[in-house]
Amino acid sequence: MDYTLNIKGRLMSMAEPQVMGILNVTPDSFYAESRVQTALAVAERARQIVAEGGTIIDIGACSTRPSSEPVGQEEEMERLRMALGVVRRELPSAVVSVDTFRPDVARMAVEEFGADIINDVGGPATPGASSPSVSSGGEDCAMLRMVSRLRVPYILMSAKPTLRETLLFFAERVQRLRDMGHKDIILDPGFGFGKTLEQNYALLAELEKLLVMELPLLVGVSRKSMICKLLGVMPSEALNATTALHAVALMKGASILRVHDVKEAAECCKLIRKTITETPKP
C-alpha cells in the first residue's frame, strides 16, 4: 500500500509489510510466552523483537483475553511506565506502540514517554469496554478526541462481526477522526473480538475488501483461539497455523502483522513480498 505514517517527523512506509512484536507486561495474557514482568525481561524482549525483524514494539499492560477482568487504570499506568522507561532507555529510536483502551493511559504514554502509536483495543466485546472510547451511536468517543489531540498514528479496532458492519464502523469512525484533523490511521478488523469462529474466518476470507478505505490494515491472529479452536490445539502449538494465516492476510493486503513470533512473521513477509512484488510475470 502506498501509505506512510508520520512517526514524530520520521516517515514509515507501508509499501512493504511491517511486523509488530508483542510485549505484554501482564501476568495473565493468553499466551504465556508473551508475558514479561521485570525490567530485565522487558529489555530482553524488546531487543529480541528488533533483532528478529520487528519494526514496531507493541507494549500492553492490561490483558484483553476473553473472560479476563481488566486491571485498574493506575495499575496499567504503573506497568507501562516501567516498560516504556526500559524500552526508551535500551532502544531509544525504536517505534513504540501502546496497546490500551483508556484515553488517559494513551495520554500518559505519549506525553511522558513519547509513545509513537496508540493501538486502541477498545470494542464492544473487549473487557472493560464501558469506556466512552468504545461507545456507539451518536456519542462522542473519548479516545478519538484524545488521539486527535496527541497527533500520533492511531490503530482503530473493530469488534463488529461481519464485513458490512466492520466497513460501516470504520467509515463512521474514520470520518470523525478526519473531522478532528487526524491523518495517520490504521485499521484493525479485530480478529477474536466480538466474532464467532465462523465470522473470524469469513472476515479473513474477504479482508481485501477493507482496502476500499485506502488505509493500512493491521492483522492480529497470532496464536489466537480462532486457530486453537479450529485445530484443537493450545496456543503453544499454534505457530505453524499462525504463519499460514499470516500468509493469507499478506496476500489479501495486510500492511502490519501483530505477532508473538517475530522471526517467523518477518520471514513470511519476505517470502510473500518476493512472490508477489518481485517475481516477474511470464
Q: Catalytic residue numbers?
A: 224, 258
User: Is the CB of residue 269 less than 8 Å from the CB of residue 251?
Assistant: no
H or E, element range at 186: strand 185-188
Separation of CA 63 from chain center: 13
In the numeric block, which cell numbers belong to residue 172?
463512521
User: Is the CB of residue 264 less than 8 Å from the CB of residue 225?
Assistant: no
User: Is the CB of residue 262 less than 8 Å from the CB of residue 54?
Assistant: yes
CA 80, 125, 268: angle at the middle one, nearest 5? Answer: 65
Dmax over CA atoms of the chain, in Å, equals 59
